[in-house]
Amino acid sequence: MIIDSWLRLRHSALPALATLLFTTALFAQEQQNLTILGSTASWPTGRATFVSETDVDGLRIRHTRVDDADCGARDFLEFSGPLGPDTTSVIEPFLNAMQPCGSSASRGAVILSSGGGAMTDGYALGELLTQYGVATALVQGQVCASACVAAFLGGSPRYMLENAWLVLQSPVRRPGIGIDCENSQEVDALKEYFAARLGEEKGGLLQERAMSNCTAARGWTIQPLEAVALGIAEADNTPFTQQLADGSLNFMAENATRPGVITTSSGLQYEVISRGANADAQSPVATSRVTVNYHGTFVDGRVFDSSVERGRPAAFPLNQVIRGWTEGLQLMKPGDKFRFFIPPELAYGEAGRGPVPANTTLIFEIELLEIGGSN
């Protein structure tokens, strides 16, 4: 549902709320079957097979096989959750089960999403990934922190897609997380590992930047462009995204290049479907009450909420909906029909809501019927 606060729904809107509550379990199950662990990206519909899955101390691991025209199938290993001392031994059987692509020695890619763990556990996993010759990747919405950064560096090549983050948490001194910056042995080990993976120059720069953030509570966040500049990630993600042939991995970036799509400074994207008859009409402001018809889907086309399908328009104050709606409807006039592409940070973000999982890009077709009205 697009309303930000359930408590603000009018009593007469309860049938819509009931629809959402009854469909949440169904869509949660579908999303679990389609979404790459810890991300907003989906596997190609009808082409992905889940070979095996397990959960060890909060670390969820899944072996996924995707149909591929070049080599029959490509294997991917997804994991999401904290790394621990047993992670390497748990993951190795999964790596063994990954089939090389055709005659290639490559065993595919490991897709990581992890809040971290002890750096020593990250080093061990990174060494294992190097041994098996796998690529590593972060896709949309994934965060790879502390020990996960070390593991990520063990892959070759390494890919970071849009809206993914590396977080080097060297300053955190809680047991089992990051490194103790005052422990010279741990600091030296980190330096040696960076140098082995990135070379003396870039590894030394990464070490210097990490240690300079030792007093920062949240560590050092590295976004894709910066990761490319530091030699951490490949500049061209095409070899990875082509393996999946699935637009949802780079949906917003690719969508922005389509003719007619406009991107605002906030990252909201929209296109005009049709214009109303009165070009001189006023647009709503953030405090306006509006009446609309809307149809909401995920990027793979699945419907999660639709006043059109319910056969009843919705009315609400514009300042009580998700940010993408508040901004987008102020671009419209009564009678206009737009299509909005709303990134997670302008929708339900990391929390998600109802049938919408965390970190999910949403698409809405919205017709602004009138400014005002009741529901």
229 and 256 co-located in one domain:
no
202 and 313 co-located in one domain:
no
| Residue 322 appears among annotated catalytic residues | yes
Catalytic residue among 111, 305, 342, 363: 305
The reply to whether 33 falls in a domain is no
The reply to whether 321 falls in a domain is yes
The DSSP code sequence of 150-210 is HHHHTSSSEEE-TT-EEEE-TT--STTSB--TT-HHHHHHHHHHHHHHH-HHHHHHHHHHH
Q: Is residue 373 within 8 Å of 314, Cβ to Cβ?
A: no
350 and 264 co-located in one domain:
yes
Catalytic residue among 27, 36, 364, 366: 364
The reply to whether 28 falls in a domain is no
Catalytic residue among 79, 294, 298, 341: 294
The reply to whether 193 falls in a domain is yes
194 and 255 co-located in one domain:
no
Catalytic residue among 322, 342, 363, 366: 322
202 and 275 co-located in one domain:
no
| Residue 270 appears among annotated catalytic residues | no
Q: Which of 224, 245, 266 is the last residue of a domain?
A: 245
Separation of alpha carbons 345 and 342, rounded Å: 8
Burial of 168 (0-12, 13-18, 19+ CB in 10 A): buried
The reply to whether 22 falls in a domain is no
150 and 197 co-located in one domain:
yes
Q: What are phi and psi of 314, to 5 degrees?
A: -115, 145
Q: Which of 201, 220, 245 is the last residue of a domain?
A: 245
Q: How many CB atoms within 10 Å of residue 216?
A: 14
292 lies in which domain range? 250-371
The reply to whether 21 falls in a domain is no
In the chain, % helix, strand, coil (3-state, to 5) comes to: 35, 25, 40
- Reduced to 3 states (helix: H, G, I; strand: E, B; else coil), residue 306 is strand
71 and 181 co-located in one domain:
yes
200 and 96 co-located in one domain:
yes
| Residue 123 appears among annotated catalytic residues | no
Separation of alpha carbons 104 and 240, rounded Å: 15
The reply to whether 7 falls in a domain is no
Domain count, the chain: 2
Q: What's the half-sphere exposure (Cβ side, CA atoms, 13 Å) at 212?
A: 7
194 and 140 co-located in one domain:
yes
Q: Which of 245, 268, 288 is the last residue of a domain?
A: 245
CATH number of the domain to which 209 belongs? 3.90.226.10
157 and 223 co-located in one domain:
yes
- Reduced to 3 states (helix: H, G, I; strand: E, B; else coil), residue 288 is coil
| Residue 111 appears among annotated catalytic residues | no
Q: Is residue 269 within 8 Å of 255, Cβ to Cβ?
A: yes
Catalytic residue among 304, 316, 338, 340: 304
Separation of alpha carbons 36 and 22, rounded Å: 24
Q: One digit per residue, pLDDT tens: the chain, 375 residues? A: 443 332 233 333 333 333 332 233 333 333 345 688 988 777 876 678 889 999 988 899 999 988 876 777 889 999 999 998 899 999 999 999 988 876 555 678 999 999 888 888 888 999 999 999 999 999 988 899 888 999 999 999 999 988 788 988 654 445 445 566 666 777 788 889 889 999 999 888 888 887 776 656 667 888 899 999 989 999 998 888 777 654 455 678 778 889 999 999 999 999 999 999 888 899 999 999 999 999 999 887 889 999 999 999 999 999 999 999 999 999 999 999 999 999 888 998 767 788 887 668 899 999 999 998 655
Which amino acid, one-letter code, is at 35?
T
| Residue 304 appears among annotated catalytic residues | yes
157 and 265 co-located in one domain:
no
The reply to whether 3 falls in a domain is no
Catalytic residue among 348, 363, 366, 371: 348
218 and 350 co-located in one domain:
no
CATH number of the domain to which 276 belongs? 3.10.50.40
Q: Report which DSSP code applies to 284.
A: P
